[in-house]
Amino acid sequence: MEILNVQKALVILQNSEYMAELIPEVRSNLVMARENAETIEDVVGIPGRITTVKGKLRAFLKPEWGASSHMARLVLEVMKYNPGRRSAINLRYNPEVITICEKLGLKVSYYNRLEEPDELRKQEGKTISWGVEQAINRIDEVPDVIYHTGDWGKEAIIALIGHDAIEVAEMAVCIAKLLNIRKKENKINS
């Protein structure tokens, strides 16, 4: 069920003419965990991540279990607070995207990578769990959007979080369309 959900969500993303602008330099991954997931192997992701080719999103391999580490860890941490929120995608950070999310009524929170304790920085995979915990504690609930503005050698990222991959993909496409409209309006008004 999760693999099929991610496959359908991938089609939604790949059919969007606006999504390419939201793909970060580290590329994106779309993940969905099974119910009661405990390990990375319980999370479906895209091997090799989602990239852009000629302005369109492309995934060159089919979704599979255990194919993501970073986004899988994010979802696993979120599920500790809300087991129904089993999916996420990472996007390029843009303050305009944060504004759009807030105007859409999405719950937005963040963490500051500069505040991360040194002992966690040295342990592979600990930053994401720490960051998710910080973002949740900041608003006392699981947000729809978690972002950070980066650190030395670390790209700023936005993560959209939802119940399943289709919901997350539809949210991402909506945000991408609104960002495109906003850019066109800014060009007209300048």
Confidence label for 167 from pLDDT (cuts 50, 70 and 90): very high
Query: Could you give phi then psi for residue 106, rounded to 5 degrees?
Result: -75, 145
Number of domains in the chain: 1
The residue among 45, 5, 9 whose CA lies nearest residue 27 is 45
What is the tens place of the pLDDT at every residue in 144-155?
999 998 777 778
Confidence label for 186 from pLDDT (cuts 50, 70 and 90): confident
Confidence label for 125 from pLDDT (cuts 50, 70 and 90): low
Range of the domain at 168: 2-189
Residue 154: CATH number of its domain: 3.40.225.10
SS3 state of residue 90: strand
CA distances from 129 to 22, 66, 79 (A): 23, 17, 11
pTM: 0.92
CA distances from 184 to 140, 154, 188, 189 (A): 36, 30, 6, 9
CA distances from 2 to 35, 52, 134, 170 (A): 9, 24, 28, 16
